[in-house]
Copies of this chain bind each other. A is one copy, B any other.
Amino acid sequence: MTDRHIDVHKAHDHEACIDTALARARALCDDRDVQLTPIREKVLAIVWKSHKPVGAYQVLDELARTHKAARPPTVYRALDFLIAEGLIHKIESLNAYLGCGEAGVAHTSQFLICRVCGTTEEIVDPKLDHALDAAARRARFTVERKMVEIAGLCGRCAG
């Protein structure tokens, strides 16, 4: 919890990000009695290789290096599992996938996507979340899934 809200745009010990994410995933899957199989864990690790969203076929290429039987369904099944368990998110505007920095905590998808460096930061903003709910309520709309993707320039790239 302490080191989970780092600034992903700055240099940081990213191995620690990966280790934390994997440890957290293992713990959550254990609690829930679902299987974080080797394939799923490997896919999760691949997605976590950076703070940039990764395409499914990029994951496939990586996975195939150590797992020759890998095919598109292999990857998509793993991604579907990880999404269902809240361990990764799909970035809809990029058709790509990103490790969730808040796994295990209820939250909605809110992302800041830098168009220059690709770095995508997940934010958890209760006020924004509340504004989404309020907007839906005004329209008598029952919310099931909320997607917020803001594209632009991160602090580094805006200079």
Contacts and interface: CB of A to CB of B under 8 A. Distances in A.
Interface of A: 92-93, 110, 112, 114-115, 121, 123, 125, 127-128, 130-132, 134-136, 138-155, 158
- Give the number of copies in the complex: 2
Contacts of A92: 92-93, 147, 149
Contacts of A136: 112, 150, 152
Given A153-B141, A158-B142, A135 B147 contact: no
15 contacts: A92-B92, A92-B147, A92-B149, A93-B147, A115-B144, A121-B141, A125-B135, A125-B138, A136-B152, A141-B153, A141-B155, A143-B150, A144-B153, A146-B150, A147-B148
A123 B149 CA distance: 16
A151 B155 contact: no
Nearest to A112: B141
Nearest to A143: B152
Given A92-B92, A93-B92, A158-B142, A135 B123 contact: yes
A131 B141 contact: no
B149 A147 contact: yes
